[in-house]
Amino acid sequence: MKIGRKTSGSRYKRPKKRKLTGRQNQTRIVKLGNKKTKLLKIRGGSKKLISFSANIVNLKTKDKTKNTTIKNVIETPSNTFLARQNILIKGAIIETELGKAKITNRPSQEGNIQAILIN
């Protein structure tokens, strides 16, 4: 057989080169505290608002949405240690002024926090 060919006669494909766009960003941790956000440029010329800390949540009740403050992170189903450190992630159950709520969005990607009342 010729060098660089399979037994069927087809060529071996070269592995792709590493590119700048293939890199992953650092994981962003959103903690409970005063609001701190940053605007990032992303691929395609768009912009993304990311948050590092937050204490206000858009809470959806049965009939309307209200802005309330977060008192504490009660539990996180994915990792119990995140609740102890007051880290806000999707699915975390938080304590607000109106009662317990569940975070429905990804705060590290969107720059704000959306939640649903679960009382």
Question: Rounded to 5 degrees, what are φ and ψ at 107?
Answer: -60, -30
DSSP 7: T
Q: List domains and CATH numbers for the chain.
A: 30-117 (3.10.290.70)
Average pLDDT over residues 92-102: 96
pTM value is 0.79
Provide the pLDDT for residue 10. Answer: 92
Helix extents (H) in 1-119 = 80-84, 107-110
pLDDT tens-digit profile of 17-43?
Answer: 998 888 887 888 999 999 999 998 888
**Are the C-beta atoms of 52 and 28 separated by less than 8 Å?**
yes
- Give the pairing of strands 56-60 and 114-117: parallel
